[in-house]
């Protein structure tokens, strides 16, 4: 039988000044930056959903006089994203709840339900890194390849450009290599094609700013590269130390998000701030529901016969990858 109350919480005369040690840590709230890289507004009505889209329409071309008008067929893509069940139950013995000298059991247990707010973020980082820390299986993008790939599912150059949306980095993360990879990523975006021989994205979209997501260990070098004005030893005499930040001077908008959820040293990601479609999305089938079984409070046979009470939460959600032309990985 499960119980979570240790005997050291049941002794008479306990002091409670530190009973809220974990209650005051607000680490179960969704990061507001997630909405910049994940579409959180797509609802769900079933246990899985089929999505589809038509590929880019043909572009106008020369029509030679006296010849049949040029034609080009349309084709489409279909992909499936499942919705999964998520839950957590926290049990205890009814006597332990009554004897808990801190009187914090129920409030602390309910923090397990608050953790539902982190699910979309956990989904996103699983999709980003291709892991299954939360999601039960890794997912492919609609073109049949992984989130970041040099080729599409058919083996062709993804988005018509060598290396697709997977950029081979220049190595050790220094300010110089970070800036070189940043501009290489912008150049790679500008070389992407829509499948009909024309640019995939407009210059306004690509130049409109990026969100950089990287491991926590890269925070200093990223802030130095994109946010800080570098001070020169002798102003104006050494071009390498002149107080300047080339990205800021070019009025480029870069937002940095470093996180402990990424562990691959040196690998980092760029997301366009204003893509036509965000690269990932959430499917919300059912919101969080809370159920309790307490003594004398609509409890079932389990509580009456075992004295085990519990509180539990359930939700149904899924997450998927859209066509990821607005995301780029720098692979080191």
CB 173 within 8 A of CB 35: no
In a domain, 258, yes or no: yes
Instruction: Identify whether 20 is part of a domain.
Output: no
User: What DSSP string runs through 264-327?
Assistant: STT-EEEEESS-SS-SEEEEEEEEEEEEEEBTTBS--HHHHHH-EEEEEEEEEEEEEE---TTE
Residue 84 lies in domain:
34-53+78-331
Structural domains in the chain (count) = 1
Query: What is the domain-level CATH number for residue 250?
Result: 3.90.1690
Domain assignment present for 23 = no
In a domain, 188, yes or no: yes
Cβ(262)–Cβ(121) below 8 Å: no
Please state, in angstroms and as integers, the Cα–Cα distance from residue 161 to each residue in 164, 186, 325, following that order. 5, 13, 11
Q: Does any domain span residue 19? A: no
How many Å apart are CA 67 and CA 86, to the nearest integer?
A: 61
pLDDT at 6: 64
Domain membership of residue 5 (yes or no) is no
pLDDT at 326 over 90: yes
Tens of pLDDT, residues 214-237: 999 999 999 999 987 655 444 444
Q: What does the pLDDT look like over 234-282, one tens digit per residue?
A: 444 445 555 667 777 766 799 999 999 998 888 999 999 999 999 999 9
CA 47 to chain centre: 22
Residue 26 lies in a domain: no
Domain assignment present for 189: yes
Q: What is the pLDDT of residues 122-136, one digit of tens each?
A: 999 999 999 999 999
Residue 3 has a pLDDT of 62
pLDDT tens profile 135-177: 999 999 999 999 999 999 999 999 999 999 999 999 888 999 9
């Amino acid at each position: 039988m499960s119980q979570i109350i240790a005997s050291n919480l049941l002794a008479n005369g306990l002091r409670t000044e530190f009973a809220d040690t974990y209650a005051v840590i607000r680490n179960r709230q969704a990061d507001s930056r997630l909405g910049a890289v994940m579409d959180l507004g797509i609802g769900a009505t079933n246990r899985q959903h089929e999505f589809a889209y038509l590929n880019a329409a043909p572009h106008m071309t020369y029509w030679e006089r006296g010849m049949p008008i040029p034609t080009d067929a349309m084709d489409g893509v279909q992909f499936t994203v499942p919705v999964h069940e998520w839950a957590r139950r926290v049990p205890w013995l009814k006597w332990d709840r009554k004897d808990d000298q801190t009187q914090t059991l129920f409030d602390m247990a309910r923090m397990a339900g608050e953790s539902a707010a982190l699910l979309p973020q956990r989904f996103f980082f699983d999709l980003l890194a291709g892991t299954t820390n939360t999601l039960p299986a890794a997912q492919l993008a609609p073109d049949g390849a992984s989130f970041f790939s040099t080729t599409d599912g058919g083996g062709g150059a993804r988005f018509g450009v060598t290396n697709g949306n997977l950029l081979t980095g220049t190595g050790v993360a220094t300010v110089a290599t970070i800036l070189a990879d940043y501009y290489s990523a912008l150049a790679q975006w500008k070389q992407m094609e829509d499948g009909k021989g024309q640019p995939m994205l407009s210059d306004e979209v690509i130049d409109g700013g990026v969100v950089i997501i990287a491991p926590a260990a890269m925070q200093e070098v990223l802030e130095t590269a994109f946010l800080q004005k570098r001070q020169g030893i002798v102003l104006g005499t050494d071009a390498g130390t002149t107080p300047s930040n080339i990205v800021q001077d070019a009025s480029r908008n870069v937002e940095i998000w470093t996180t402990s959820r990424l562990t691959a040293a040196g690998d980092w990601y760029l997301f366009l701030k204003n893509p036509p479609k965000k690269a990932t999305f959430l499917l919300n089938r059912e919101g969080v529901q809370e159920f309790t079984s307490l003594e004398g409070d609509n409890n079932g046979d389990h509580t009456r016969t075992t004295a085990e009470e519990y509180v539990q939460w359930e939700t149904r959600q899924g997450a998927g990858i859209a066509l990821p032309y607005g995301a780029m990985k720098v692979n080191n």
